[in-house]
Structure formats: C-alpha cells, structure tokens
Chain A
C-alpha cells in the first residue's frame, strides 16, 4: 500500500495521546490507592492539555486524508452514521468522544471540580475526575481498537489481518505515551518520573516483542491470491503484457509504496532501532533528565513514523496482481 502521510501522523499522534492519557490516569489511580504520592491537579490538567494538543494534531492530519479538506465540514459528519459495519466510522465517533472526555478530565482537574461520587470501603474517594479517568481509559482502548481494526479487518491485506495489529497499536501507542509522560514528569514533577520511566520501559519491551512477532508472522505469509485466481486461468506461467493504461492509474499510484526493495529492507532495522532499541537503552541507562527524555520521545516518535510507513508499505494488496506491466 502507499503510505499516506496523513494517516501516518494521525495514528502516531493519537497513539501517543492515548498513551499519555493512560499514563496520567494510571498515575492518578496508583496515587488514589496510596501507592504513589498524589500529584497536583495542575499536573493532570496540564497533561490533559498536551493530550488534547496531540489529538488535535492527529485530527488536523486526518483532514488531509479526505478527498478535499472541505469535506471535513460538509460531509465528514456522515462518517459517523455507519458505525454498525465500518470500523472507520466507529473511529470517527470514538476520536471526538475521547477528546471530549479528556477535555472534561483536564477541566475538572484544572478548575478543581471534584464532587465526590462514592467512597470505597478502603476510604478512597471516587470523585468526578476519577470517574472521567475511568471512562477516558475505556475510550482510549476503544479508540485503539477502532484505529487498529480499520486495518486488521481487511482480510485480504494479510499483513494486517491479525490480532497482532491491534495489540501492537495499543502497545506502541502506550510506549510512546509513557515516554512522553516520563518527559513531562521530569519537567514538572520529578518525583513521579521514575514511575513513568519504569512503565515506559515495560511497554517498549512489550511493543518491541509484539512488532517483531508481527514481522516474523508477515515474513512467513504466502499469498492467497495468485495471478491464476485473479484471472481464473489454470497455467503455471502467466505474464501480464498490458494493464490497459500507459500513463498509470489510481490502481498503480495508491497501492504501491513507490520505493525500492532496498529502501524497504533498510527501513525495517531503522525503525526497530529508533522506536524500540535506542529508547530502551537510553531509558534504562541514561540519567532521568528532561533533555534526555525529550530526545528519547522525539527519537522514538521518528522511529514510530518509520514503523507506520513500513506498516503500510509492507501490505501487499491483491489488486496489484492486475497491475504488473505497462504496455
């Protein structure tokens, strides 16, 4: 498939946003049960603002995936109507819903709107921010699943049609978000940064394992469709002589990454190192300074951009069988 930069930025930005939100609320939950010192409301509130910025950036990138950016205003609302069948439609509902919850979570923290809802037997007070955090956590996972299922549900794009696609979207978004949370914490609440760094390491290891697993799986795939089934002729040697157009068509432009096989081979180790190995090494061995964690986040983000590019480029669409030869 041709990697569309709008979708690459959308999925990586909102992945980091969802991860950061999960990180913030994980911290608040730990603190609620007294496992960590509670941070100020500003910490969670300002963190939510960063989540909103990233989500907004993702939404902005998504606009460029539409035929015309104007469709965002005139037609995109229709995209919420087919949630019964379309994962893309479900994502178009889940994304604004998640944004709304994050917005409320941030506002309730910043404006100290914390009406008590229920008190647990252990004495922990469940207030509005905790309730919004729980709903937001559910929505973050719903959004991860919707985003990944857009790809995983396409059964003839076999590189994507796997539970690993969903697992990896969650793990890579989580890793990116927790790294960002660690950076944010070193800047604003240094006592909390260790918690986020530890979780960032765990999630990055898991994401690395998940991504390598999907690479191994994809390396073993045998194509289901062949030129024989595509045109329905039983003969071992079939060669296309003409695709019916000399100057290319949508089918030749949108289903191929347009780079050499060497480039594709080179980008695989590059993203594995940038997105997983290098961040892990720096997180585990480096000092927990804002500068270093900022660099780790940016390096990993670049790595995840490359990962997402490769994710699209590696998927081989069966329609390409019909578009082999100009003639």
Chain B
C-alpha cells in the first residue's frame, strides 16, 4: 500500500514562503477552479490557501530560537475529517492515501473542518466548498510533465530542499529514511490520527572535543614534568614564517 506524504525539515526551512506562493499559483490555476481571494489588494486581504508558513519563537530572548513552520494537510492515515462528512465529498484515496475533497459533492457544512484538529481545511468563501491540500494530485501523475516535475508544487519551489515528497510506506524511500534516521515526528500524536506528513526537528551540529584530545594525557614530554618548548601560549617560528 502506498501513502504519499511530505516530510518537512524544520532544520533547513528558512521561512521564505516560496512553498506558499508556489502552492497558491499552481492550485489557483487548475481545472478545479481558483483558490478564491477577497480584497487581495485591500486593507485586510484574505483568501483560501492550502499551505501556510508560520513562525514561532522558542525560549526567551536572548536564549531564543526562531522556528519556521510550514503547515498544510497532513493526509492522516486515520483521517478524522473523512468519516464525519455526510455526503462522501471527503475521502481518502486507497491507491496513494491522499485525502481529497470532491468539490462537486461538498455541501459546505464545514463539519469536516470541525473534525480536523490541525485546522488544515479552509472554506472557500466564494465557491462555498471546503478545500485543502491535494498533494498536487493533478501534477504528480501528469505524464506530460518531465518526471522531475511530477512533485507537489511546494516541494519544487523550496530553495533549501526542506520539503521531501514520497511514499512513507516504502521503507527504502527518501522520506522513510529521513523519518527513520533524522528523528521524523508527527503533530499532535495524542489524537491517534497518524499523520502521514512528518516533520524533522531542528538539530544542531555539535563537535564534542575533550580536553585530552587537545593535550594528550600520555604525552611523553610530560614524563619529565616539563612542557615542550616553546610553551603552547608562546609564539613559534611558524607564526611569523608561514611559508
């Protein structure tokens, strides 16, 4: 069984919103109709998006860290939004695990958005139907595109390769390896929704150097209790004649 998903590396996301604009551009131009905006150039612009990048401050200044957090539908393996839909407009595809909304069946009751703990669904105020990330289902299977382009629009746009795309049920896929080897985690695991999208944590590259690696404890020159000359704090000939 296939479960397509995104793995988002929070360690390299720089919060540039390229995935947001790229997603909006692709998904507002498709055959399913636009992602409607209201007052796009007005005072309080608002509109339908599949993907948002949020920013969090962790800790208290000066010991704080900035986290950019891209957020879209997690395509849960046990999606709570699907069984509550009265019309069957919300469904999870068996073949690849993508959770989709059939805009022609949706009655706009918004019940599915109540049933999603992540707030991943957004109601289109003009088309009056519920919308959400489709994992660019109209792109990833488009055989008229070169194979390299058959990826979600956000993944293609990311300048730091913070977004990986693949089948998390295939243990050898890039995404599975990333989850396994780089500490991939799921959001709000307490609800048992088993999100397919995973996040890779912020991680710092540290080199641990012990004192005895700088100064050998068994340095034979120490046997006579005399440090080698010149002393390590003194300049040597090497400092002035570096040829």
- Interfacial residues, chain A to chain B (CB-CB below 8 A): 1, 65-68, 71, 75-76, 78-82, 85-89, 92, 150, 153-157, 224-225, 227, 229-233, 235, 237-251, 254-255, 317-320, 322-323, 327
Given A1-B114, A229-B190, is A240 in contact with B119 using a C-beta cutoff of 8 Å? no
Residue B191 contacts which of A68, A225, A317 (CB distance < 8 angstroms)? A225
* Chain A at the B interface: SS class: loop
B105 at the A/B interface (Cβ < 8 Å)? yes
Contacts of A86 in B (CB 8 A): 83-86, 111
The answer to whether A224 touches B190 (Cβ under 8 A) is yes
Q: How many of chain B's residues have a CB under 8 angstroms from any CB in A?
A: 63
Q: What is the CB-to-nearest-CB distance from A227 to chain B, in angstroms, rounded to a whole number?
A: 8
Given A156-B117, A241-B56, is A66 in contact with B108 using a C-beta cutoff of 8 Å? yes
The answer to whether A240 touches B128 (Cβ under 8 A) is no
* Nearest A-chain residue to B71, judged by Cβ: A322
Given A71-B108, A86-B84, is A233 in contact with B56 using a C-beta cutoff of 8 Å? yes
The answer to whether A317 touches B20 (Cβ under 8 A) is no
The answer to whether A225 touches B117 (Cβ under 8 A) is yes
The answer to whether B46 touches A248 (Cβ under 8 A) is yes
* Nearest B-chain residue to A68, judged by Cβ: B128
**A156 and B66 alpha carbons, distance in the complex (Å):** 28
Contacts of A92 in B (CB 8 A): 86
Residue B115 contacts which of A154, A231, A249, A255 (CB distance < 8 angstroms)? A154
Residue A82 contacts which of B17, B57, B86, B121 (CB distance < 8 angstroms)? B86
Q: Which 9 pairs show the lowest CB-CB distances between chains A and B?
A: A67-B108, A319-B119, A67-B128, A244-B52, A85-B83, A247-B44, A78-B87, A89-B86, A79-B86
Given A66-B108, A232-B185, is A155 in contact with B84 using a C-beta cutoff of 8 Å? no
B59 at the A/B interface (Cβ < 8 Å)? yes
Contacts of A154 in B (CB 8 A): 80, 84, 114-115
Contacts of B114 in A (CB 8 A): 1, 154, 157, 317
The answer to whether B58 touches A82 (Cβ under 8 A) is no
The answer to whether A88 touches B84 (Cβ under 8 A) is yes
**A156 and B56 alpha carbons, distance in the complex (Å):** 23
* Nearest A-chain residue to B111, judged by Cβ: A88
Given A89-B86, A233-B67, A251-B122, is A76 in contact with B189 using a C-beta cutoff of 8 Å? no
Residue B58 contacts which of A78, A79, A237 (CB distance < 8 angstroms)? A237
Residue A240 contacts which of B44, B55, B105, B189 (CB distance < 8 angstroms)? B55
Residue A88 contacts which of B57, B86, B127, B186 (CB distance < 8 angstroms)? B86
The answer to whether B199 touches A248 (Cβ under 8 A) is no
The answer to whether B58 touches A238 (Cβ under 8 A) is yes
Given A71-B108, A233-B67, A319-B117, is A240 in contact with B54 using a C-beta cutoff of 8 Å? yes
B194 at the A/B interface (Cβ < 8 Å)? no
**A157 and B117 alpha carbons, distance in the complex (Å):** 9
B165 at the A/B interface (Cβ < 8 Å)? no
Contacts of A225 in B (CB 8 A): 117, 188, 190-191
B116 at the A/B interface (Cβ < 8 Å)? yes
**A245 and B187 alpha carbons, distance in the complex (Å):** 21
The answer to whether B52 touches A231 (Cβ under 8 A) is no
Given A66-B107, A75-B107, A244-B54, is A229 in contact with B84 using a C-beta cutoff of 8 Å? no
The answer to whether B129 touches A244 (Cβ under 8 A) is no
Q: Mark B30-63, 1 if CB is under 8 A from A, else 0.
A: 0000000001000111111100111111111000
Contacts of B84 in A (CB 8 A): 85-88, 153-154
Contacts of A227 in B (CB 8 A): 56
Contacts of B121 in A (CB 8 A): 250
With contacts A154-B80, A231-B67, A232-B201 known, what are 17 further pairs, Cβ within 8 A?
A1-B114, A68-B108, A81-B88, A87-B84, A89-B87, A155-B191, A224-B190, A225-B191, A229-B189, A231-B69, A239-B57, A240-B55, A241-B66, A242-B55, A243-B54, A244-B49, A250-B48
Complex A-B: 27 CB contacts under 8 Å:
A67-B107, A67-B123, A68-B108, A71-B107, A71-B128, A75-B107, A78-B89, A82-B85, A85-B84, A88-B84, A150-B111, A156-B117, A224-B191, A225-B191, A229-B189, A232-B185, A232-B199, A233-B56, A235-B59, A248-B44, A249-B52, A251-B122, A255-B119, A317-B114, A318-B117, A318-B191, A327-B55
Residue A76 contacts which of B53, B54, B107, B111 (CB distance < 8 angstroms)? B107
The answer to whether A241 touches B189 (Cβ under 8 A) is no
The answer to whether B88 touches A82 (Cβ under 8 A) is yes
* Nearest B-chain residue to A90, judged by Cβ: B86
The answer to whether A242 touches B54 (Cβ under 8 A) is yes
Residue A229 contacts which of B47, B110, B188 (CB distance < 8 angstroms)? B188
The answer to whether A65 touches B109 (Cβ under 8 A) is yes
Q: What is the CB-to-nearest-CB distance from B89 to chain A, in angstroms, rounded to a whole number?
A: 8
Contacts of B66 in A (CB 8 A): 241
